[in-house]
A and B are shown apart, each in its own frame.
Chain A
Amino acid sequence: MIGRIVQYGILSIATLFFLLPVYLVIVTALKEPAAITLEGTWQPPERWYWESFAQAWTAFLPKLQNSFLLTISATILSALLGSLNGYVLAKWRFPGANVIFPLMLFGMFIPYQAVLIPLFQFIREIGLGGTLWGLVLVHVVYGLPITTLIFRNYYAEIPEEMIEAGRIDGAGFFGIYSRIVFPLSLPGFVVVIIWQFTQIWNEFLFAVTLVSSPANQPITVALAQLAGGEAVKWNLPMAGALLAALPTLLVYIFLGRYFIRGLLAGSVKG
C-alpha cells in the first residue's frame, strides 16, 4: 500500500517536472505584454490575450512555409533513397558490404562541424548558397545513413523465400522491389518519414550556417533570433515556440508508436 503511494507520488512529481515548462509557455503566451512580470511568472493571465499568436503567426508564417518545404522535400527524397539502399543491403549481397555499411553509419554520428567549412564552400560553388535547396540537398545526404539503416533492418525481416519465389516467377532486381518489397514497405516508410520529419524540422546547425538570407530561414533559426534579442517581451517568443513545436508535437501525439520505433532504431539495432 505504502509502496503504491510512493510510486504514484514520484510519478506525479515527475509529471509536474515535465509539464511545468508547458504550463509556463501557454500562460506566458496568453498574457498581455504589460502583464508579464518576473515576479508574476507563474500566475495565470487575468484575461486571455490572443494577440501574441496572431503576431507570431504573421511573423513566422513565411518561416513555417520554408520549414515545411524543406522538411517535406528532404524527407521524401531521403526516404525513397533509403528504401532502395536498404533493399540492396538487405537482399543483395555485394562484396565489401560489411565494410561499407559501418562506414556509412558513422556518417550519422559525426559532429557536423567537422564537415561544415567544406560543405559551406561546396554549396556556394554549386550555386545553392543561402538557398533552401542547398539545405534540402544537405539533409538528404546526411539523412541517408539513418534511412538506409531503418529500411535495411525492416527488409531483413522479409522472408528469403518470398524473394526467391519472385525470382522463379522471372522478376529481376526492379521487379522484386516493385512487386514484393515496396508493397510491404508502408510501416517502414511511416517510421522513416516521421523520424526524418522530426529531425529536419528541428535541425538548427545547418540552417543557421548555410541559409544566410532571412527570407529563406527555417522556423528554428527565426525563433532563436527572436528569443535571443534582449528587448523582446516574452509573450512573442513563447507563442512562437508553440507554433514551432506544434507540427512535430502533433506527429508525436498521433503517431507516437512509430516515433518511438524510429527513436529505438536510431540506436542501430532494429
Chain B
Amino acid sequence: MRWLRNKDSLYSFLVILPSLVLLAVFVYGFIFQTFYISLTDWGRDPAQALLANPQIRFIGFENYRELFTGFIDSRFRQDLFNTFFFTLFFVLGCLGAGLGLAILLDQGPKGEGFFRTIFLFPMSLSFIVTGTIWRWMLQPQGGVNQLPTLVGLPKGEFAWLTSRQQIWQVSWNDVPFITALLVGLVLVLITLSAFRRGEQRRGYIALGSATLLLLWAFTLGRSLQPLPYEELHGFNLALIGIILAAVWQMSGYTMALYLAGLRGIPEELREAARVDGASEWQLYWRVILPQLAPITLSAMMILGHISLKIFDLVFAMAGADNAPTDVPALLMYLTTFRANQIAKGAAIAMILLLLVAAVIVPYLYRQLKSEVRR
C-alpha cells in the first residue's frame, strides 16, 4: 500500500513536470535572457542587429543609463509620465464608475440583468476592436465632437488623439525628488494602517523606510540632477481619449467585482444599521464602503498592472507612431522590432517588468496569504 502511494506521488509529479519546465523556461529563463540582452550593445551596430549570430558586447547598465539620462531617449521619459497619468485616471475612472454602477444595481432596479449585461459586454471584446471603434469615435472633425450639434449646440473642438497639449509640466530633474516624496507618502499611509490594525512589526518597517526615503529626498534627492539641462514632461491631453476608451472597456469588470462584494454583505448588517437610524447615504458611506475596501485594493492592483501593460488599445487607437499617446509597452515594440535596437528594447521591457512586479508581487502575496488563512 505504501509503495502504491509512492508510485502515485511519482505519477503526480511526472504529470505536472512538463508544465513546470515549460514555465520555468518560457517565463523565468526568458526573463533572465532578456535581462542579459539589456546589458549588451545588441542593435547599436545596425549591420549586426539582424544577423543570426550577431557580435554583441557586454556594456553593463549603459542602456538603462541612457534611458534615464541620455539626450536621445527623452521619449521614454515622457512615456513614463504617460503611463503614470494613464494608470492614475484609468484606475480612478474604473473604480468610480464600477462602484457607482454596482451600488445602483444593488438596489435591485427593474431590468437589472439587462443593465449588467450592457455594462459588462465590452469586457468580451478585443482591445483592437475597441480601439478601432473609438478611433472613429474620436475623429477631431466628427464622432464625439459632433454630438453637441445633434441638440443644436456648436461642435466640440478638442483634437482628442492628435492633441499636442501638455499640462502639469515637471522638469525631469525634479522627478527623483517627487517620486521619493510620493512613495514616502504611500509608506506613511501603510504605517498608519499597520499601527491601527496593531501590526507593530510591519508598522515599524514601513515607518523606517518612509523616514529613510524622505530624509534622502530632502537632502541628496534635491540636488540630484540626471540631466544637465531642463527637460519638461507632463500630462499629454491626447491620452484622455485612450483613458475614456479604456474605462468604457474595463469599468464593467470593477462593477462585477463590487457587485459580488455587495451581494456578499449580510443583510443583517444593513438591517442593524437601519435600526440604528442610519440613512441610506450613511449606510453606504459608513457601513458598506469599509466592507468593500479589500475589493478596492485588489481591483486597484489588477487594473494597475493592466494599465502598465496597455499596448493593443493604444496601437489600434492612435497608431504605433503617435508620440503623444506612446507608452513604454509600445516603445519596447517599436525600439526592438521596428528600429532593431534590441538591447535597448530589452532594457525598456525590464523596467516595465519591474513596474508590474511592484504591483503584482504584493498582490499575489496578499491573495495567497488570505487563502492559507481560509
Contacts and interface: CB of A to CB of B under 8 A. Distances in A.
B364 A41 contact: no
Contact of A113 (B120, B130, B348): B348
B128, B133, B348, B370 — most chain A CB neighbours (10 Å): B128
Interface stretch (B138-146, B233-241, B284-292): B138-146
Interface string B72-110: 000000000000000000000000010011001001010
Contacts of B107: 7
Interface in B322-374: 329, 332-333, 336-337, 342, 345-346, 348-350, 352-353, 356-357, 360-361, 363-365, 367-368, 370-371
Interface in A88-141: 88-89, 92, 94, 100-107, 109-111, 113-119, 122, 138, 141
B221 to A, nearest CB: 28
A89 to B, nearest CB: 7
Interface stretch (B15-23, B179-187, B205-213): B15-23
A142 B26 contact: yes
Contacts of B305: 109
Contacts of B371: 268-269
Interface stretch (B3-11, B160-168, B190-198): B3-11
B298 A111 contact: no
Interface in B298-334: 298-299, 302, 305, 308-309, 311-312, 315-316, 319, 329, 332-333
A266 B305 CA distance: 13
**Interface range on chain B (Cβ under 8 Å from partner):** 35 or more
A249 B125 contact: yes
Given A17-B248, A238-B136, A259-B124, A111 B352 contact: yes
Contacts of B135: 227
A111 B329 contact: yes
A141 B316 contact: no
Interface string A244-267: 110011011100100110011011
Contact of B121 (A7, A122, A141, A252): A252
B226 to A, nearest CB: 24
Contact of B134 (A14, A21, A252, A253): A21
A170 B26 CA distance: 38
Contacts of A201: 126
B125 A24 contact: no
B27 A148 contact: no
Contacts of B39: none
Nearest to B260: A264
Interface stretch (B58-66, B111-119, B169-177, B268-276): B111-119
Main secondary structure, interface of A, reads helix
A104 to B, nearest CB: 6
A88 B8 contact: no
Interface string A7-28: 1101100110111110011001
A41 B142 CA distance: 6
Contacts of A238: 132-133, 136
Contact of B308 (A87, A111, A209, A256): A111
B19 A148 contact: yes
Contacts of B104: 7, 10-11
Interface string B23-44: 1001111110110010000000
A104 B299 CA distance: 21
Given A118-B33, A118-B34, A228 B319 contact: yes
Contacts of B109: 7-8, 11
B123 interface: yes
Contacts of B316: 204, 223-224, 227-228
A44 interface: no
A198 B28 CA distance: 26
Nearest to B119: A18
12 contacts: A18-B118, A18-B121, A24-B143, A87-B15, A102-B365, A110-B356, A114-B350, A144-B19, A223-B316, A234-B136, A256-B117, A264-B260
Interface of B: 4, 7-9, 11-13, 15-16, 18-20, 22-23, 26-31, 33-34, 37, 97, 100-101, 104, 107, 109, 115, 117-137, 139, 141-143, 146-147, 149-150, 248, 253, 256-257, 260, 280, 298-299, 302, 305, 308-309, 311-312, 315-316, 319, 329, 332-333, 336-337, 342, 345-346, 348-350, 352-353, 356-357, 360-361, 363-365, 367-368, 370-371
